[in-house]
Structure 1
């Protein structure tokens, strides 16, 4: 029998595209540390997102809540019971190491509160860190500034002093994690959560990664393309531009991998592998021209964004590939169970039995989406993608976090709602005894949601989802519709969700 680990390390690499990893079929991106890890790990073939994008995914991990049926991006709720909260009560040392600045800003605070310790590496993307005037825009950033304006200047002020590879964000995060293990490996037990904002944009990397996959002059390109259609319209990119952006994404991933090796080396130095489960995953993917998209735009939830990597080293278990369907929300219960603790989160289903080899199955269905906007559902054989129809019912949020759900980050520093006259108190979320608010969804995307696109239906074996079969296989579409309806009924989601999804 495999003994439970003393420690658990959860490593999130933001925006990590599954198809950029060799273990999932990539042949050109250099990631020797991730490759070696995958060779001895349990590799999950059918792991999917849940609530999208960044912070909704993190609330699923922290709280075990499939949140997108009730609310979008936002802070933890007062009734949430994060992994670190339970681990602390069991006497397990907890630590968060991250450069993910959303944890610390308006619209997504509180995620770090329960950790016994946390280290925040400042300065990524829109982090409001440096105010000293930007003396000049470097040539490589001129196109970025022309497209993003002040938000790009925020980033440039934050990185103006960067001179060496060690100054960049992924190196700082992974070095900090290795140093924490060095200082804390003698604890009886620990839970370490490493949350790297890289490989998120801007795709700004130093040498040798800048030219590792391209010979092009970076001054001719934009390392931070705006989200939208990459194949038409004002934001369209040429094939040359797309190839350069992919090269920078790959370079950033190679940089993350290089410094992740420091963490692995420290585990080896202190002989921690045999007592530590290590989980590597992401929150979502990132379009780099697939389906004619760039970033995370308002588009169908194709696999590029939602079919994500999950690699797990579990002591005493042989390396293998598993077909069990798992989702982001399942990490909550799984980590708690690995720590020997129960989970009361009804949406989270521990896949520990899969890790132990006791079963080859887990979920019958994976369901994922953006709040009141788009959903996807797959049973491992077929996948259905569907948009909300804004004409079929109003969209509401359900939360105690008034004013935190509608705006965030850099824009919230200049303009956000400060009056909320349309709040309705009540008990709307199943299982939550605390009275909370129903409020009209005020985010720009929901208020301006376009008319729904036609449904898209794919065989799960069509990994790149190039062949829509909705017209020729109506019975499969109706079957997934019914299974989605059953899933929603089991969760007790608001009635408006059924209407907006034409169910």
Structure 2
């Protein structure tokens, strides 16, 4: 068996034709004709690197720590595949892997190729950049070289990308095809083709724009901050037009992979899993971005399409099972006949492929560390906010005290004490470090959650989430499901109190209270 795992970043489900999108995605549509399209797939941990930890380990990690490296006790699917004799190869332009807070991920793979130049990757050196030229081309609200200095790196990188072929996405596909050319005659390999696009900045060649998408004629607007919308309708349309152009580019290059599969008769022995880490708000509900705003469907309800040669007859069908990001890891292992480690809480998607029937009682949770928690059963979705979202009482449990870019501060580390193991840490004790308000973790880097509160939506009657409801019976069932989910993840005792929840009878907190 062979597998190609295609992972995009910030791919909004509603932009794709198979999910009702009207941007124009003929190749995503074409793949959906072969694959099973899952209609109720949700995120786990947010945002980028926490989601990738869920993917590698098969369990949600946001109850224990924020954005950070792989932990010594984490068991990646790469480890299991290696023991099975499966070669894993990563092609990625996701530069966060190569920051301190993303260490230990790409090295899980047997081989890997890093494509430079995305977002604010510190790639090209220019000690005296042409600031006047940049100011004429790029709107300072998105590209202020003083207030947004890291974005200046992006503009410098763009100076070295003189043709479409120089952009990271085409270079990623070129690297993937190099791997496939060398290995398509072999068996037992997995290629993870990971594209940073369509993550912001929304940059695509002009040929992907469409007449009528936007009438804006000002300086470049393609990198909105994660905040409430303050732009004019014309400016909002321009940012959306740039995202739409990037989606079309993603679609065209994904089509090249489908062409490769067609021309070489690879559908008979090669599986494809396609998904993303999270979506993105493009002005819906009055917000840009992800993380600090409510967990609306545009962010947490994401695309998932799966093709497996053994289930080729299911092509074009829809999967109604409630699934989430941690399910990808045991699915990858199942494709190669590997058992998942005991600590994995995700479920293989292959179990749904023959009949496409869904469980009727599954409830999953999602969120950011030290933030509100989202809960869904696939029909209802609830946002639970703690009594004081900026309150103290939480701790980071880690053996790798590193935030996204900066290490934990001396003030944070002075609070450290040794914590007993959790049920997934291979009997390793951990550092228990106070989660301070000022810690350099998302979303503290660009806002907070303090201006929002509880919401419950019925997605059957209100898919656009315009009218929150109250329903005591539904809320009680979702809260029971949340407690069970937290118990299954051996959630720290203080998390229940911080969230304003009573622990379930089988939770770690309840067990500790009984001692």
TM surpasses 0.5: yes
Please show how residues 238-277 of structure 1 align to structure 2 within 5 Å.
238-277=232-271
Question: Which range moves more in the overlay, 210-219 or 256-265?
Answer: 210-219
Q: Give deviations 1:175-201, integer Å, cap 9, x for gaps.
A: 221221112111222111111000000
Structure 2: how far apart are the matches of 1:217 and 1:449? 31
State the partner residue of 1:174: 173
Please show how residues 123-272 of structure 1 align to structure 2 within 5 Å.
123-133=117-127, 134-136=129-131, 137-138=133-134, 139-143=136-140, 144-146=142-144, 149-211=148-210, 214=213, 216=215, 219-230=218-229, 236-272=230-266
- Structure 1 residue 131, shift from structure 2 partner: 1.5
The number of aligned residues is: 483
Ranges in structure 1 where 5+ consecutive residues have no aligned partner: 1-5, 231-235
Structure 1: how far apart are the matches of 2:95 and 2:393? 32
Q: Tell me if the contact between 1:398 and 1:429 (Cα under 8 Å) persists in the aligned partners.
A: no
State the partner residue of 1:329: 326
- Structure 1 residue 391, shift from structure 2 partner: 6.5
Is 1:25 paired with 2:23?
no
Question: Which range moves more in the overlay, 181-190 or 444-453?
Answer: 444-453
Q: Tell me if the contact between 2:319 and 2:356 (Cα under 8 Å) persists in the aligned partners.
A: no
Cα RMSD of the aligned pairs, angstroms, is 2.1
Structure 2: how far apart are the matches of 1:284 and 1:166? 27
| Equivalent of 2:2 in 4, 7, 23 | 7
Check 1:99–1:205 CA distance in 2 against 1; reply closer, same or farther (3 A cut).
same
State the partner residue of 2:111: 117
Please show how residues 426-441 of structure 1 align to structure 2 within 5 Å.
426-432=419-425, 433-441=427-435
- Structure 1 residue 421, shift from structure 2 partner: 1.4
- Structure 1 residue 146, shift from structure 2 partner: 2.4
Per the alignment, in what secondary structure is the counterpart of residue 175 of structure 1? helix
Structure 1: how far apart are the matches of 2:154 and 2:361? 41
Ranges in structure 2 where 5+ consecutive residues have no aligned partner: 502-515
- Structure 1 residue 426, shift from structure 2 partner: 2.2
Check 1:77–1:391 CA distance in 2 against 1; reply closer, same or farther (3 A cut).
closer
Q: Tell me if the contact between 1:175 and 1:259 (Cα under 8 Å) persists in the aligned partners.
A: no
State the partner residue of 2:347: 349
Is 1:424 paired with 2:414?
no
State the partner residue of 1:466: 466
State the partner residue of 1:280: 274
- Structure 1 residue 159, shift from structure 2 partner: 1.6
- Structure 1 residue 248, shift from structure 2 partner: 0.6
Structure 1: how far apart are the matches of 2:181 and 2:260? 7
Check 1:303–1:40 CA distance in 2 against 1; reply closer, same or farther (3 A cut).
same
Q: Tell me if the contact between 1:175 and 1:263 (Cα under 8 Å) persists in the aligned partners.
A: no
Q: Tell me if the contact between 1:395 and 1:446 (Cα under 8 Å) persists in the aligned partners.
A: no
Structure 1: how far apart are the matches of 2:16 and 2:493? 40
Q: Tell me if the contact between 2:292 and 2:449 (Cα under 8 Å) persists in the aligned partners.
A: no
- Structure 1 residue 450, shift from structure 2 partner: 5.2
State the partner residue of 2:308: 314
Q: Tell me if the contact between 2:57 and 2:344 (Cα under 8 Å) persists in the aligned partners.
A: no
Per the alignment, in what secondary structure is the counterpart of residue 80 of structure 2? helix
Structure 2: how far apart are the matches of 1:331 and 1:239? 38
Structure 2: how far apart are the matches of 1:287 and 1:243? 13
Q: Give deviations 1:442-487, integer Å, cap 9, x for gaps.
A: 42556985547331011121222111002xx233223212221222
| Equivalent of 1:82 in 57, 76, 79 | 76
Check 1:163–1:381 CA distance in 2 against 1; reply closer, same or farther (3 A cut).
same
Q: Tell me if the contact between 1:40 and 1:313 (Cα under 8 Å) persists in the aligned partners.
A: yes
- Structure 1 residue 310, shift from structure 2 partner: 0.4
State the partner residue of 1:233: none
Please show how residues 53-92 of structure 1 align to structure 2 within 5 Å.
53-92=47-86
Is 1:493 paired with 2:491?
yes
Structure 2: how far apart are the matches of 1:379 and 1:475? 13
| Equivalent of 1:97 in 91, 98, 102 | 91
- Structure 1 residue 366, shift from structure 2 partner: 1.9
Check 1:362–1:161 CA distance in 2 against 1; reply closer, same or farther (3 A cut).
farther
- Structure 1 residue 393, shift from structure 2 partner: 4.8
Per the alignment, in what secondary structure is the counterpart of residue 220 of structure 1? coil
TM-score by length of 1: 0.91
- Structure 1 residue 362, shift from structure 2 partner: 7.9
Check 1:190–1:213 CA distance in 2 against 1; reply closer, same or farther (3 A cut).
farther
Per the alignment, in what secondary structure is the counterpart of residue 213 of structure 2? coil
